[in-house]
Structure 1
């Protein structure tokens, strides 16, 4: 009996030792924008508890351009310091050669996601990232202030300018000297590319580089779009907007000091928070058209999760990605954080629609948004975007006229494309 007990104890100890040895630490990058970090950590911790593994959260810079540069540095070095990367919708083509093919781990679940996102995340024959949440630019507005001052939700940029000015001036006269008409993302970074592409597309000015590789940004409609935006600075938008990213613009709006805001859907749940001074005072609409003959244009955004092919625990990292992008986790994020799912069926989920009324009403905005020219420009997209946002920033800050800036940009992008041949 004694020998049997000892043998059993030894076997248990050996089994425990094996289990401990098999446990791993998976390092995950999570953006700190809005509630992204909170929800990322929560889902990762739930997976760790379920599987017996450990998760370490790595928080990269919030600025998308800085984050991309960091990821490129880590991956190019073949480093295993990060196992799971949170990647922007435009990065799979730039980072794909360093990422693990996830197809062996999906069990076909990718068919439930938006086909466009899966296509975007496919590099050659490899599925290099799983969609995590969808994004598209939206117009947030103070419905209480519009009603108070007899204004309607604007359908064109001219209407927005006029309405923003009227409400801004009236509120300032009433005692709020911090009130501004419109806040958005004007810093020289990827967020400005998203805003400016919306302006240009809404005026019918193209998409910088067309699908056939032709540089199209030098045209009168694009120039008018940039001139319109430049007219806002110092008039209905603070000069400081030229250094605003998502959180800076949200901070002004949520403090009750802006009538309109362009931002991503995540801002909705924060505006509706219990401690928000604008709770129940906010409406959401599509972004305005460039004019009567223009169109509503929202830049396609979103984030995905990818696994480094240099990870020493690739299978576990892939399992974590599949958990974090699952329907159950996406539903929770949608209800509690107003993150748009990438799984089509969830847009019909009554609990999600109740928590985020605009998701059901504006589904078309998310499924037919304007894509940045990543496919056309390929691996050089980052250079295209960098040149575009810098040219735009020069116009917004009054350092260049639209025609001049777009003419220089056209020459530079044409040279970069080597005569339209990007790849």
Structure 2
């Protein structure tokens, strides 16, 4: 089924660690942040009813992996076809359009592809419906992925894939410069780039990029920098904690790297795909990105100039290996959708182990089943998996908050102001602390 753009009339982002959800005390819309079913009463999942055509709502997937799964379903279900509604690539725009459809109780969106940090917000606002826990093989899944799909002890989504940050390095150029190990600290990155960029074969290249456009990727990269400086965005009891020496070290690090050209000027517009293309075209020595780019980099069809020339390692930090943000996606059912019984069966199929294995072949998305990380044949084909597991074991979750939209927007505003020189890092963090405190107190 061909993807289609959303109807504008309906529109007004691991390991074995257990993820601790930082639930802020701000109230959801309507003044009630209790999870609810479509019936509005008991929070336990009820029987889902209705069979027929449904929609799958997601960003584009250049790998074709998700479309292959949908095509496989559609071939076996002529009366319950899945139509893909394609949302923008920008994560913030995805969240906004799904939230707007929910706010008008639109039924055009059935199955929602949610960033793991949106699950709490959508559950608290009663925009998604609980799933029967016996509908998924929870014991076979990485525990942290189940935690990220759960809100107040109720399963609201099915884990789809998990994510941790990886550092992609041009190992051929590092070797040519006499460097045998990937960098583990920010200072190591600077030293390596000084050596590599002095090589004739590195002419015109830049040192490092992550995701610094003013969207969710900036929240992720800043959160990782703070964690890698031994700080955090919130305290254990959910209070903002960003006006700290650790957060200042992290933000000053990003500002300094932009000012020094270690991060190229154009990276201020980079989301995941722009960074992927820059590294794949041979324009970067180092790139922070997710596992999904691995297959593109390793493509043997001539589309990648770095195939066989790159390596994967944990992201660097201030004094040693850095801290990744826990990423990934969950699949949920809109509370306002028809044909929810079909939707549940599609989710079971779509997130099942067989489809996860086939999508891994096409997209290198990190699976949510523990068995993949223990399978020698799979690891032999995808050697980044042990490194990813190492990254995930040290990962920190973004705050799973009811007011996540306001929280991430505030972080993006202030961090972007600092890295573009509009504010000093000190002023940006002081303003961010004040704004987040207002969100928590509001």
TM over 0.5: yes
Residues 21-67 of structure 1, C-alpha deviation per residue, up to 9 Å, x if partnerless? x98322111321542xx111110111121233322111101100010
Structure-2 separation of matches of 1:416 and 1:289:
29
Q: Given the superposition, is the C-alpha separation of residues 326 and 156 from structure 1 closer, same or farther in structure 2, using an over 3 Å criterion?
A: same
* Paired residues of 1:134 and 1:339 also in contact (CA < 8 A): yes
Aligned partners of 1:41 and 1:23: how far apart in 2?
A: 21
In structure 2, which of residues 387, 405, 408 is the aligned counterpart of residue 382 of structure 1? Answer: 405
| Contact 2:135 2:348 (C-alpha < 8 Å) held by counterparts | no
Query: Could you give the per-residue CA deviations for residues 153-191 of structure 1, whole angstroms, max 9, x where no partner exists?
Result: 1110111122123312434xx5732x1111111111110
TM-superposed CA distance for 1:107, in Å, is: 3.3
Q: If each structure's helix is expressed as a fraction of its own residues, which one has the higher value?
A: 1
Give unpaired runs (5+ residues) of structure 1.
1-21
CA distance in 2, matches of 1:214, 1:330: 37
* 1:153 maps to which of 182, 188, 193: 182
Distance 1:407 1:23, change over 3 A: closer
Superposed CA RMSD in Å reads: 1.8
1:272·1:279 contact (CA, 8 Å) conserved in 2?
A: yes
Question: Paired residue for 2:217, among 170, 179, 191?
Answer: 191
On the 8 A contact 1:187/1:245 being kept in 2, the answer is yes
TM-score of the pair, normalised by structure 1: 0.87
Query: Contact 2:196/2:202 (CA < 8 Å) preserved in 1?
Result: no
Count how many residue pairs are aligned between Structure 1 and Structure 2.
Answer: 386
Deviating beyond 3 angstroms after TM superposition, the runs of 4 or more aligned structure 1 residues are: none
- Structure 2 counterpart of 1:280: 308
Q: Would you say 1:133 and 2:161 are equivalent positions?
A: yes
The equivalent position to 2:422 in structure 1, one of 388, 392, 399, is 399
Q: TM-score, normalised by structure 2?
A: 0.83
Which structure's relative contact order is higher, taking Cα pairs within 8 Å and 6+ residues apart? 2
- Contact 1:211 1:373 (C-alpha < 8 Å) held by counterparts: no
Is 1:76 paired with 2:103? yes
Match of 1:217 among 236, 242, 247: 242
Residues 218-297 of structure 1: pairs in structure 2 closer than 5 A: 218-233=243-258, 235-274=261-300, 275=302, 276-291=304-319, 296-297=322-323
Residue 368 of structure 2 corresponds to 342
Say which SS state the counterpart of residue 309 (structure 1) adopts. Answer: coil
Paired residue for 2:91, among 58, 64, 71? 64
CA distance in 1, matches of 2:362, 2:330: 19
CA contact (8 A) 2:51 2:341 kept: no
Residue 132 (structure 2) pairs with residue 103 (structure 1): yes
In structure 2, how many angstroms separate the alpha carbons of the residues matched to 1:309 and 1:299? 29
Cα deviation per residue 1:330-367 (whole Å; 9 max; x = unaligned)?
12222332111111122112332122112024313224
SS at match of 2:418: helix
| Cα distance in 1 for residues equivalent to 2:240 and 2:51 | 51
Structure with larger Rg: 1
**Given the alignment of the two structures, is residue 302 of structure 1 paired with residue 328 of structure 2, yes or no?**
yes
